[in-house]
Structure 1
């Protein structure tokens, strides 16, 4: 629309005919976001006309009027409409529309205006507009109207469940603006400006929103299919959640503040301090002693330490977690009071070194979650999230489980108790248990998809096997050392592999030195009547044993397996190991008829064959020699086959070939590596040598008369 048409437009906007006003304001909403047009419109008194329409119109005329004001504010113009004696009436009108009007197009426009109004308090100071009337913008501009319509916040949060995604997004943007204004240094929820009151007010406001179901509503949106349409306000809410967590952590626990004092007192009372069996330190009253008078209080020397604090001054132990740590532990105790008391009873009967420090564990879990979600990087993540929004990698950007902070804290704390109990941890093992819980959170929460429900995450943390945590810990430790030490770790691994091979070689050869029984298939009789029967004595067993000097392999065949192992003297056959050319093995499936049932079954027979060069054909002329089998062994099991096959190869200084032996070598070398990794301390490795290290001592005054004591 041309700027010259503005006087005529204003005349139609002020017309008494609704159809004329509706058409005029419809055209206005499409042109007013042009700064040049808006400037002429405002200078021509258009704000007064637009305000009158918003205050009196209804239906589409009202919807177009609200949209026109929204677009005007988007180009950062028209803020004068919220100043002066009539500003509060306009704000109250917009709030009234949100509370009472059911039309979606009107609700969208009204919420957009309030988003701009609340957000402008933060941009005003940045833009140097500090001279504006205090309270004109931000939450304070809404406060009088909200007092008239106290159901305002409840209805705004209810719109998060709207089927209209645009309205839902506007409602969430309004909530985000209110939260950001509440926690900003400029925004004060009440009229007082002192630090304590301001801190109390924003915290109470956030709690009020949470009590109205804000977290649950946003959590569902973040997991829903409507994520694409709500991506930006949801990401901002996620960033604000981190800002709130960080702000709560920055609040120091001060017993001079009533709510902090009440929280600690509630924690103490929830522990059932009057129960002697919970305390575990109150001595029994002897018959000659007089019971304490009713109403008298005896000071418990471990009032707080029995709850898991390290000292009797609990306030100072919140230095790291701040008020966030107090919120987490008091929330856990409030929701699981019976479990809390039961835990204290179990710990009271144990020695002091074996008791699980509940409070200290809660603080540790708070910091594990705090570091896992990288709460201190909220602003940076917000920027990165907006930059990669187009990548559609929503599982990487959005973390719905962050909104379930309290439930995750409880689940991780229960996991801490379980790990402590299963591992038999003691006081000095506290940090080790914390590290296992950290790995657990990384595995369950860190690997969770966007749509994974918090209940599923809780169950997984409760059922996660501690042995798997140990494996994960070792893998992470090895990866850490791999990156830090590189070639040195590779050399250590190779050395350990050679040591493991020597260890397994000795074990396999010892099996040969002990000797073993083997089966020996007997030849079948000829059943033809015309043929003569062969006369022979069946010898179905064979015994083999390596000589003590490891130079000969002795063996003999027997009719039966004797109870006592045959001696070397009773083994009539022997093979010089130096004549063996190769040792091979095959696995074949033979059809064997059962003598009892006649059924045909498949049995797997492992055969080991020893070869030797026999009668070489003129080797001086370079012709190939011929191998002949000189011994066959049929082991009774796969394990025995592995021991003898690889044992014979190793005694001949050849490499083992069976999977069982190679698995044993790898297992021994991996255990050796893990033991070395667990014994390495990272800190001293970078401190350099101790003073005097590496200095060769002087031999002055010494002679050659010395010896080494082994």
Structure 2
């Protein structure tokens, strides 16, 4: 290693013998670049052997520069204060980075800890500002934790305000990117963060990290602890080991949130803020709460979100000017609401057990204006007057669950007078001519659930915004009114119920088409103004091309099962593509094309087997990359990624694409994507084709803790195609054997006593 010292323009040499493997050349025979290293005495020029470790480099520098202090007291940083480590040393050497010989992380941690204790007013804020940057480095964080740094930060957060509080919260947020060291955060600290976030007076730069801290605590539940890929699906995860940070979760955070009544309202209100980062953090917190909500508080939390019109706030966000930066999170919210809808649909209505169910039914009956009657045998006739087949409401709502009950209640609530008028009008007709109003409402719920694929609790497959879906109750009211109108205009009788359902199904497909681009009033007009004859003619044409078999309940249930299997297959396939790796073009964001231009045009990225890091290498040309990670010296921590933005980058103007279609450097490529953190983009890439783009954008989304959507139409179509192919194969098996598929199965009466047992099936073959 050779070192040259220059002071005020002079250049005296202090030399050592050449290092092993060539101080003047690399293993491949090329010259080792010369780096400059700034010290307290001036700047030295040095050639650093890339085969050395950082500690050896620092040790030789200290010897050459005759430093009196031990080499362990020093570290190297570049001009941007990035710590030089064994992982990035080669990159620093190749790029001829200007380095600085500075205090080691241990010394920095000790000094900062001392300043936090003293709290000297003139330097205290600057100390916290430095801390929020250094604490991202694992070496510094470890030393800071040894000095009881978490307790110091908590003490500062408890008593601070303004920018000082913002710096302290950001430092805590950055520390919590580690998966250790903060397991001692207690309920008092969580409540303090809740109070900070709930205060309308809190500054934006305070709210951002406070929101991120709560989000991280929600996600740190035992079910999310690192482990096998599917471990998080366990409903009863093992207790976390001592010291694990995975000991919090939804219940712990929500207990503190409930103490501050205005918190959720404040978070929802901030979805409309002009500050994109704050809106991003707010929707991410809501998504994490939705994704991790437990049975204990699920109904309370969901009811609160509904009262605050959270869906409406997100719909407004869909059309705002900041939506490009929030697309991924909005789609996550959409996916979470699909899971909420599915759970409601599969939750039984139990008025004898659940007070909320009983109250909703009382509201519906009271507003109907009908009177309960008694049959000749004394049996009550009540709900049958509203169109149900029996008085057993748990059975009547069996297929649509609480979702059906909520939809009927909202239908009544939207216009109580109209509901009462319709209910009384139907009872005035002969029994065979009455429209079964409640039964029609439930059937509309089924049709909408089928249309929006509310078939499984997994991630939603729509890659586009669905504002009509988020207005599920309003669409249900429109479609139910349409059902009533078709019933009346067609002069239907009870035997025609299935025929009217088919008409409504046909109109639902037409009215809800292209909901990501069509305005609400056009959809509403389709339901309100369309005439019976036009709907009937279109539906007859559809029947010529459609098999009635597909609408039967057993077949719809089979499709649900195959849908779950298909989407899990696609999920595993996408992640497998990330594990294999791929080449991408380095791109520049269209919004800031001069902010960071790539020095090398190509990048190969590969996911590690632990599913935690994206390893990569930048290169002037593509080359065969070996298996493993040896050829990929750089890496990206996936836990830092807050958003996968798409279609927002362009090819740099000074590169030539050899396998991508050319376009203007200022035009965003539809094959581009960016990995965004809270601070900005850490990777801007252009995929070679649409398949690779879909594999990676969807795969990366599926790896995120709060993922809930896919980004590409290709993936959505792939899942749908697999489902339909599987369904047709199953139906071919049945039709080939001439098996008759019933429209539904009726369970027989229960046993009169318990004197029975289930025998094992016996196959004589």
TM-score range, shorter chain: 0.5 to 0.7
Residue 310 of structure 2 is matched in structure 1 by 214
> C-alpha distance in 2, partners of 1:683/1:469?
34
Residue 172 of structure 1 is matched in structure 2 by 283
> C-alpha distance in 2, partners of 1:139/1:207?
16
Q: Is the 8 A contact 1:239 1:378 kept in 2?
A: no
Q: Is the 8 A contact 2:342 2:455 kept in 1?
A: yes
> C-alpha distance in 1, partners of 2:257/2:283?
17
> C-alpha distance in 1, partners of 2:154/2:288?
23
Residue 615 of structure 2 is matched in structure 1 by none
1:417/1:236 Cα in 2 relative to 1: closer, same or farther (>3 Å)?
A: same
The answer to whether residue 164 in structure 2 is matched with residue 66 in structure 1 is no
Match of 1:235 among 313, 331, 336: 331
The answer to whether residue 179 in structure 2 is matched with residue 94 in structure 1 is no
SS in 2 for 1:80: coil
**Per-residue deviation, 1:684:** 11
Based on CA coordinates, which of the two structures has the bigger radius of gyration? 1
Match of 1:271 among 368, 388, 391: 368
Q: Is the 8 A contact 1:120 1:137 kept in 2?
A: yes
**Per-residue deviation, 1:3:** 1.8
**Per-residue deviation, 1:428:** 1.8
**Per-residue deviation, 1:233:** 2.0
SS in 2 for 1:398: coil
Q: Is the 8 A contact 1:99 1:155 kept in 2?
A: yes
Residue 477 of structure 1 is matched in structure 2 by 543
> C-alpha distance in 2, partners of 1:266/1:365?
20
Residue 307 of structure 1 is matched in structure 2 by 386
> C-alpha distance in 2, partners of 1:229/1:248?
31
Q: Deviations over 1:10-59 (max 9, x none)?
A: 22333322342222222222232233332232123222222222223333
**Per-residue deviation, 1:221:** 0.8
Match of 1:466 among 503, 526, 532: 532
> C-alpha distance in 2, partners of 1:64/1:689?
69
- List alignment gaps of at least 5 residues for structure 2: 1-82, 84-103, 228-237, 551-731, 741-765
The answer to whether residue 397 in structure 2 is matched with residue 318 in structure 1 is yes
1:689/1:359 Cα in 2 relative to 1: closer, same or farther (>3 Å)?
A: closer
Q: Is the 8 A contact 1:321 1:367 kept in 2?
A: yes
Q: Is the 8 A contact 1:347 1:356 kept in 2?
A: yes
The answer to whether residue 240 in structure 2 is matched with residue 141 in structure 1 is no
Q: Deviations over 1:653-708 (max 9, x none)?
A: xxxxxxxxxxxxxxxxxxxxxxxxxxxxx999866599xxxxxxxxxxxxxxxxxx
Equivalences, count:
443
1:481/1:213 Cα in 2 relative to 1: closer, same or farther (>3 Å)?
A: closer
1:318/1:223 Cα in 2 relative to 1: closer, same or farther (>3 Å)?
A: same
Match of 2:503 among 417, 436, 443: 436
Instruction: Give the structure with the larger helix fraction.
Output: 1
Q: Deviations over 1:58-104 (max 9, x none)?
A: 3322212211111221232332241xxxx233222212221234311
> C-alpha distance in 2, partners of 1:98/1:301?
53
Q: Is the 8 A contact 1:13 1:20 kept in 2?
A: no
Q: Deviations over 1:149-171 (max 9, x none)?
A: 32222212221111101101111
1:27/1:372 Cα in 2 relative to 1: closer, same or farther (>3 Å)?
A: same
> C-alpha distance in 2, partners of 1:350/1:165?
57
Superposed counterparts of 1:268-417, under 5 Å: 268-274=365-371, 302-377=381-456, 379-381=458-460, 396-417=463-484
SS in 1 for 2:516: coil
> C-alpha distance in 2, partners of 1:274/1:460?
35
Q: Is the 8 A contact 1:29 1:64 kept in 2?
A: yes
The answer to whether residue 232 in structure 2 is matched with residue 130 in structure 1 is no
> C-alpha distance in 2, partners of 1:79/1:56?
19
Q: Is the 8 A contact 1:95 1:152 kept in 2?
A: yes
Superposed counterparts of 1:639-658, under 5 Å: none
Q: Deviations over 1:216-265 (max 9, x none)?
A: 21121123232211122211211111111111122112232233233333
Match of 2:487 among 400, 420, 433: 420
Q: Deviations over 1:405-424 (max 9, x none)?
A: 11111100000011111122
Residue 260 of structure 1 is matched in structure 2 by 357
Superposed counterparts of 1:519-668, under 5 Å: none
1:474/1:35 Cα in 2 relative to 1: closer, same or farther (>3 Å)?
A: farther
1:481/1:352 Cα in 2 relative to 1: closer, same or farther (>3 Å)?
A: closer
Q: Deviations over 1:371-406 (max 9, x none)?
A: 11111245243xx56xxxxxxxxxx52111111111
The answer to whether residue 205 in structure 2 is matched with residue 105 in structure 1 is yes
SS in 1 for 2:369: coil
Q: Deviations over 1:598-641 (max 9, x none)?
A: xxxxxxxxxxxxxxxxxxxxxxxxxxxxxxxxxxxxxxxxxxxx
> C-alpha distance in 2, partners of 1:458/1:214?
22
1:80/1:305 Cα in 2 relative to 1: closer, same or farther (>3 Å)?
A: closer
Report which structure shows greater RCO (CA 8 Å, sep ≥6): 2
> C-alpha distance in 1, partners of 2:493/2:242?
62
> C-alpha distance in 1, partners of 2:299/2:183?
31
> C-alpha distance in 2, partners of 1:444/1:241?
21
SS in 2 for 1:215: helix
Q: Is the 8 A contact 1:124 1:130 kept in 2?
A: no
- List alignment gaps of at least 5 residues for structure 1: 190-201, 284-297, 386-395, 485-681, 691-710
**Per-residue deviation, 1:356:** 0.9
1:225/1:461 Cα in 2 relative to 1: closer, same or farther (>3 Å)?
A: farther
Q: Is the 8 A contact 2:215 2:285 kept in 1?
A: yes
> C-alpha distance in 2, partners of 1:256/1:248?
18
Q: Is the 8 A contact 2:370 2:424 kept in 1?
A: no
1:117/1:25 Cα in 2 relative to 1: closer, same or farther (>3 Å)?
A: same
Residue 653 of structure 2 is matched in structure 1 by none
Match of 2:119 among 9, 16, 25: 16
Q: Is the 8 A contact 1:14 1:21 kept in 2?
A: no
